[in-house]
């Protein structure tokens, strides 16, 4: 029975990146204030990426407790959390550039 959450996780881990790409393309169709107004749409794939990466961490901990290999889960978690990591890196980049 524990194999089903893993399969669902493997199928959902690329979705945040794909959703972010689609929403990013849609937001870039606008110019000026329209782009600014449509930008909050990007919060949804970022939040979904956070949820997928959190789910991956839970699955990794469960597998480590059972002493099973977790390489695929780690890669899936990094893929699913890549949008959150990108958002954090961009935020840190803006903070650093504004501090100088």
- Structure confidence by residue, pLDDT tens digits, 4-63: 888 899 999 999 999 999 999 999 999 888 888 888 899 999 999 999 999 999 999 999
* pLDDT at res. 3: 66
Question: pLDDT value at position 61?
Answer: 94
- Give the start-end residues of each E strand in 13-90: none
Phi then psi for 73, rounded to 5 degrees? Answer: -65, -40
Q: How many CB atoms lie within 10 A of CB 51?
A: 14
Confidence category of residue 2, pLDDT binned at 50, 70, 90: low
Angstrom distance (rounded) from CA 52 to CA 61: 14
Q: Which of 60, 66, 63, 24 is nearest to 43 (CA)?
A: 24
């Amino acid at each position: 029975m524990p194999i089903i959450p893993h399969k669902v996780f493997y199928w959902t881990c690329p979705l945040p990146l794909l959703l972010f790409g689609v929403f990013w393309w849609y937001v870039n169709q606008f110019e000026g204030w329209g782009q600014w107004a449509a930008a909050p749409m990007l919060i949804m794939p970022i939040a979904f990426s956070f949820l997928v990466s959190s789910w991956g961490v839970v699955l990794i901990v469960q597998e480590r407790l059972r002493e099973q290999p977790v390489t695929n889960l780690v890669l899936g978690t990094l893929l699913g959390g890549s949008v959150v990591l990108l958002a954090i890196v961009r935020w840190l980049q803006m903070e650093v550039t504004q501090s100088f």
